[in-house]
């Protein structure tokens, strides 16, 4: 009896020890996981696929299919090996002055960054700090809500009309700021200068950012409005019309006070945002206006031809003034076409989002690329 009792007591002690050890282990694991409580969690932006296979037709990221101006390569060749051991000019004077001369403004009105995404992100951080929500369209560049979430900026989206145009009345309300692309992405729809001015003038107490990443492909810039509105900031990029996506050059133009605030934030965390090759190559691109215009006209001509062919095949789309077409077919679902095209080595962009889940965004490539796209679509739709 005593032996049995002693064994039972031993078992109880061992079980208690196991329970205690398990509880301790769980407490330690919980402590180890607490660092995640302080992590800034966001849903990141999803860029277009960048397949390594050079044999594919890549029409999914709105890159320019033609090389940059010849002077860009010359600028690269002129950089000496020893130049790379030095920090680049933190003021980016060469590039800023080139842009200022090009747009007819002062250097103090120009801010540059590592692509327009960098410029926009700094602008969000700098100007959108009010308690009221910032406003932007419900169908737009999908980085806007990512930055708002990242910086804990309250925001509200305003629905585009059925034809994908902006209703200016939606932006005549108390808010913490406004941002929209013109032409819009991913729709390619261009708003008139009158609509842009109506929105800017209705919001004198906050900064209005007009994202002109695609303006060179057929739009009228809001730059002339800068002299009348100190709350207007215009953001542009070298990635599209200047064929320099790989160089990561973006810039903003606004009044000197706005640009000064942007520089204060930039120099608070990174003084050397622009590298030496980008500064020199960017200036070289601006210097060759003839090549720039020739390049633009080639893309525009191919875009207009592609519009005609897509229409013939039963696609509908808004009148794009960008270097892409946002198209929907009347009988074949967009996702089916997207997958079929990808299987055939033709990459376009599909957004599985409300209101636009039956559209494909098709970048304008070379004439040969677009002919192959149309040829595939013609066969696929006919044999479906």
**Helix/strand/coil for 136:** strand
**Residue spans in the chain of domains classed CATH 3.40.640.10:** 70-287
* ∠ Cα 174 204 170 (to 5°): 45
**Helix/strand/coil for 161:** coil
CA dihedral 202, 207, 213, 218 (to 10 degrees): 30
Q: What is 189-257 written as a DSSP string?
A: PPPPHHHHHHHHHT-TTS-EEEE-TTGGGT---SGGGGGT-TTEEEEEESSSTTS-GGG--EEEE--HH
For residue 382, what are its two tokens? 């006919």
Query: What is the Cα–Cα distance from 36 to 234, expressed in whole angstroms?
Result: 38
**Helix/strand/coil for 173:** coil
CATH number for 57-63+290-383 (one of 3.40.50.11290, 3.90.1150.10, 1.20.58.1030, 3.40.710.10): it is: 3.90.1150.10
**Residue spans in the chain of domains classed CATH 3.90.1150.10:** 57-63+290-383
- For the segment 1-36, what is each residue's pLDDT rounded down to a tens digit? 555 556 566 556 666 566 576 677 777 777 666 777
Query: What is the Cα–Cα distance from 359 to 350, expressed in whole angstroms?
Result: 7
Query: Which residue(s) pair with 211 in the sheet?
Result: 181, 235
For residue 78, what are its two tokens? 């002129």
CATH fold label, 70-287: 3.40.640
Query: Number of helices and strands (H, E) in the chain?
Result: 11, 13
Residues sharing a CB contact under 8 Å with residue 212, sequence separation 6 or more, in sequence order: 181, 182, 219, 221, 222, 234, 235, 236
In this structure, the number of other CB atoms found within 10 A of the CB of residue 174 comes to 12
Per-residue confidence of the chain (384 residues) as pLDDT tens digits?
555 556 566 556 666 566 576 677 777 777 666 777 777 777 776 676 777 666 899 999 999 999 999 999 999 999 999 999 999 999 999 999 999 999 999 999 999 999 999 999 999 999 999 999 999 999 999 999 999 999 999 999 999 999 999 999 999 999 999 999 999 999 999 999 999 999 999 999 999 999 999 999 999 999 999 999 999 999 999 999 999 999 999 999 999 999 999 999 999 988 888 999 999 999 999 999 999 999 999 999 999 999 999 999 999 999 999 999 999 999 999 999 999 999 999 999 999 999 999 999 999 999 999 999 999 999 999 998
Query: Rg (Cα) of the chain, in Å, rounded?
Result: 27
The edge-to-edge listing of strands for the beta sheet with 250-253 is 110-113, 250-253, 232-237, 208-211, 177-181, 134-137, 155-158
pTM: 0.89
Query: What is the Cα–Cα distance from 365 to 370, expressed in whole angstroms?
Result: 6
**Helix/strand/coil for 347:** strand
Q: How far is CA 333 from CA 97, 344, 357, 360, in A?
A: 49, 17, 9, 10
């Amino acid at each position: 009896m005593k032996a049995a009792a002693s064994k039972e007591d031993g078992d109880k002690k061992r079980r208690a020890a196991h329970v205690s050890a398990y509880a301790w282990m769980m407490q330690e694991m919980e402590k180890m996981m607490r660092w995640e409580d302080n992590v800034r969690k966001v849903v990141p932006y999803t860029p277009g696929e960048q397949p390594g296979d050079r044999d594919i037709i890549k029409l999914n990221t709105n890159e320019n299919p033609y090389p940059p101006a010849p002077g860009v390569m010359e600028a690269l060749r002129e950089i000496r090996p020893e130049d790379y051991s030095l920090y680049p000019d933190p003021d980016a004077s060469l590039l800023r002055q080139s842009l200022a001369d090009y747009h007819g403004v002062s250097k103090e009105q120009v801010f540059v960054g590592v692509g327009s995404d960098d410029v926009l992100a700094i602008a969000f951080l700098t100007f959108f700090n009010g308690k009221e929500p910032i406003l932007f369209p419900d169908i737009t560049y999908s980085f806007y809500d990512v930055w708002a979430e990242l910086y804990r900026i309250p925001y509200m989206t305003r629905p585009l009309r059925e034809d994908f145009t902006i209703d200016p009345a939606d932006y005549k309300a108390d808010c913490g700021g406004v941002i929209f692309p013109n032409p819009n992405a991913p729709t390619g729809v261009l708003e008139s200068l009158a609509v842009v001015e109506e929105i800017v003038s209705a919001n004198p107490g906050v900064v209005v950012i007009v994202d002109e990443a695609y303006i060179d492909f057929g739009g009228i810039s809001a730059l002339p409005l800068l002299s009348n509105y100190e709350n207007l900031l215009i953001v542009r990029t070298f990635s599209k019309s200047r064929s320099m996506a790989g160089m990561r050059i973006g810039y903003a133009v606004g009044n000197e006070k706005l640009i000064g605030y942007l520089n204060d934030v930039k120099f608070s965390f990174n003084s050397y945002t622009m590298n030496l090759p980008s500064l020199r190559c960017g200036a070289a691109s601006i210097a060759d206006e003839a090549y720039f215009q020739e390049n633009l006209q080639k893309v525009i001509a191919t875009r207009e031809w592609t519009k005609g062919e897509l229409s013939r095949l039963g696609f509908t789309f808004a009148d794009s003034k960008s270097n892409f077409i946002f198209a929907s077919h009347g009988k074949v679902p967009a996702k089916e076409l997207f997958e079929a095209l990808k299987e055939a080595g033709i990459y376009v962009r599909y957004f599985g989002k409300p209101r636009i889940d039956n559209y494909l965004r098709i970048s304008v490539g070379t004439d040969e690329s677009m002919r192959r796209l149309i040829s595939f679509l013609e066969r696929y739709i006919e044999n479906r």
